[in-house]
Structure 1
């Protein structure tokens, strides 16, 4: 249904935090643009695919922002540890990384887990296949020790890929760490955060995300806590409408006070693994038209870069509260393709509030009470 795409050195965290430097190499988007592939890629694959609150049992994981396209951080698996860059994805539930058993092109330019070099690895006889909106991965499941955000999680089930979809070859991340509910985990694998909770490794049954803008440093995910220094005002708690993805009910979407999409209410998932805001084709066309972009584009409609300051805000009415995105936040800018809206047609009635939305609103995922908390990010 969706693609969890597209996340920076291994860290141990106690009282202090380690800042990870940005990757100074070319971004995935820049590489695709140079090859003349960005236009085709972005149209075909719109989903890309925390301080004093920290206490014993809470973990803080720094992430790198890759041109606002993806957020990835480094974890380790095995004994001795083998390091991998992964997307922290609230739109899927499995942890998987490439393995030495994979010969796909996507595995050749990524780190690969070698089970034979880990003294704590245990094989299973369970196959694994995960279908994303932009392709699939196949492999098998194993158990090993995972270190993420300074938290060591023993006996964590994870996937070792044997085949990977071609689009993954363009991504800076090696694998994906899913943070949705166990009910949608492939092959019955227990998600990493669930294991943290069950083993008493975190103090609270929630985790939270801060996503920086414009490739800046500072993006982070916190396990077992949240960071008040990353938001202003109070968290607004929104009940989940489904405990599969982090799914909520949106009342309507307005521009200039007029309802232009989600007119009778709609369902949306809050998804850190999706770059854009995704919705049904008719609604995306209506939104593009309302903000002055071409309604004929189903993915990232072009706009005049000089018009951004005069374009209207988009407001999402959720649980009776208004969450507003100025044009400067929902229009994406590039030296190669100019300016386009961060809106895409998902071919489904289900909306996805991806990174374009989450960059503006600090997000807490409360698994204990089944709520999503939102507050204006700073």
Structure 2
């Protein structure tokens, strides 16, 4: 009788566990991620401005919709229009402030890895905040293409093009060219007839970048080419066991290796269970409800906040009033008026956490502390920056937060999951 009871209880436990989170099947494919570092001659204020403008332009559609609904004011639109104006190339600016003493702070500004297109190797940024795949073409004569691998159609047997033009704008720069199809291979998974952009023009924004192109991993509806993303095709064609991918974003200071796993989650990268949060919609972004934020355990009582989870954004960008409330609780923080940014002690031990689906996840202080403002005053810029990417309740949650968790993106259940790192 006791033995039967034990089996019944075990059975119930298994059923409850299955309802809590999807099964993580063993068959999956993982590739290593490489950290993208900023050019060393750029001063911190220019780099910071660059990050903010990239976010403004990337989410300009959301900002314009919010403006039409009366959710943002004219100042936000002025900032957006200013960001859209052509600017001097960031790479050509002279050094004003030395960053030799930063000791690894602000090194992680993006993550890229290898893929092949038509049998030719490329390094691409993996971006959950967009949905287009593009790489340079042999016809690209822009300076930004000069030090990157270029695609040669003559070397591929499956290359096709309809000569349909495409263009994507990222930050202060842009790319344009034609849409094509070919075979794309990611971590051993082959995707036939994948639509991608072949650039003939790239702005100077990409000069000297350590990656050749970009692979969007948001929903297909965001694609400027009207195409399915490579991972969406994997899921539709059942090339993966589960319609999910998982990120472990590494930290330069820790000398670890980041990973991107297709078709499941990397069990070695996290502990405990994955906390899945349903998306607020499937209109494009990986956007989920955020319960609250806290500093040193003190909740800020934020209500009805939404968070776009974006591996292609370096900072956490939030409504100015929310950012002010967070920094008010960080001892020694101050607002730098001329920048509109917050500085915090470089040696702060403040623990800022974001709460999703009832669980709080702390941001590692190594990531909260960003670019050095003043060595003498021991002040650094905060990784949480004021800005508007849509309505006044939307947060843009980038790598400053995502390096502290294991993140999973599930197309089948339209959800994002977080787990504690191993």
Could you tell me which residue of structure 2 aligns to residue 366 of structure 1? 410
- Determine the C-alpha separation between the residues in 2 that align with 1:15 and 1:201: 10
Q: 2:152 aligns with which of 108, 111, 114?
A: 114
Determine if the alignment matches structure 1 residue 274 to structure 2 residue 313.
yes
Determine if the alignment matches structure 1 residue 294 to structure 2 residue 334.
yes
Determine if the alignment matches structure 1 residue 342 to structure 2 residue 383.
yes
Tell me the TM-score normalized by structure 1: 0.81
Distance 1:71 1:19, change over 3 A: closer
Could you tell me which residue of structure 2 aligns to residue 198 of structure 1? 236
Could you tell me which residue of structure 1 aligns to residue 198 of structure 2? 160
Determine if the alignment matches structure 1 residue 325 to structure 2 residue 369.
no
Q: 2:291 aligns with which of 251, 259, 265?
A: 251
Distance 1:94 1:322, change over 3 A: same
Determine if the alignment matches structure 1 residue 99 to structure 2 residue 99.
no
Q: Which deviates further from its counterpart, 150-159 or 312-321?
A: 312-321
Tell me the TM-score normalized by structure 2: 0.73
Partner of 1:308, secondary structure, is coil
Partner of 1:39, secondary structure, is helix
Q: 1:88 aligns with which of 126, 131, 137?
A: 126
Q: Deviations over 1:26-78 (max 9, x none)?
A: x642x3x32x44431322334777xxxxxxxxxxxxxxxx9312111011111
Q: Deviations over 1:74-112 (max 9, x none)?
A: 11111xx21111011111111111112222222122111
Partner of 1:106, secondary structure, is helix
- Determine the C-alpha separation between the residues in 2 that align with 1:284 and 1:340: 13
Report how far residue 240 of structure 1 moved: 0.5
* Structure with the greater alpha carbon radius of gyration: 2
Could you tell me which residue of structure 2 aligns to residue 221 of structure 1? 260
- Determine the C-alpha separation between the residues in 1 that align with 2:114 and 2:333: 38
Determine if the alignment matches structure 1 residue 185 to structure 2 residue 223.
yes
Could you tell me which residue of structure 2 aligns to residue 40 of structure 1? 46
- Determine the C-alpha separation between the residues in 1 that align with 2:116 and 2:325: 44
Distance 1:224 1:285, change over 3 A: same
Could you tell me which residue of structure 2 aligns to residue 304 of structure 1? 345
Q: What runs of 5+ residues in structure 2 fail to find an aligned partner?
A: 1-26, 56-105
**Matches for 1:21-100 after TM superposition, within 5 Å:** 28-29=37-38, 31=39, 33-34=40-41, 36-46=42-52, 67-78=107-118, 81-100=119-138
- Determine the C-alpha separation between the residues in 2 that align with 1:19 and 1:324: 24
> Do the aligned residues in 2 keep the contact of 1:48 with 1:273 (CA within 8 Å)?
no
Runs of 4+ that moved beyond 4 A:
14-20, 257-260, 297-300, 333-338
- Determine the C-alpha separation between the residues in 2 that align with 1:225 and 1:69: 25
Q: Which deviates further from its counterpart, 335-344 or 277-286?
A: 335-344
Could you tell me which residue of structure 1 aligns to residue 399 of structure 2? 355
Count of residue pairs the alignment pairs up? 336
Could you tell me which residue of structure 1 aligns to residue 68 of structure 2? none
> Do the aligned residues in 1 keep the contact of 2:131 with 2:218 (CA within 8 Å)?
yes
> Do the aligned residues in 1 keep the contact of 2:50 with 2:171 (CA within 8 Å)?
no
